[in-house]
């Protein structure tokens, strides 16, 4: 039997959703009010996002990197 080919994204995105995240997703993930997510974006201190038309989206990998940076900063 042959194994199915491994999707290279599976290694890079282990445990991440296969879609871009919304501000609401970020708020739920981090257990913060949605207003906090919008405030972070306005001040450019939150996870990096981008626009798709009128909508803000976040790359799950970039969000994970941002969370890692925050935890590294807090433990240093």
Residue 4: pLDDT band by 50, 70, 90 thresholds?
low
Question: The whole model's pTM is what?
Answer: 0.72
* 3-state secondary structure at position 63: helix
Query: What is the architecture of the domain spanning 18-75?
Result: Orthogonal Bundle (1.10)
Locate the domains of the chain by residue range. 18-75
DSSP 51: E
Instruction: Report pLDDT digits (tens) over 32-60.
Output: 999 999 999 999 999 999 999 999 999 99
Compute the half-sphere exposure of residue 12: CA atoms within 13 Å on the CB side of its CA.
8
């Amino acid at each position: 039997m042959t194994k199915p080919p491994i999707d290279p994204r599976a290694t890079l995105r282990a445990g991440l959703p296969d879609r871009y995240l919304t501000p609401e997703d970020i708020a739920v993930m981090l257990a913060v009010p949605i207003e906090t997510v919008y405030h972070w974006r306005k001040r450019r201190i939150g996870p990096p996002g981008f626009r798709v038309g009128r909508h803000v989206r976040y790359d799950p990998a970039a969000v994970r990197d941002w969370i890692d940076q925050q935890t590294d900063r807090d433990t240093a």
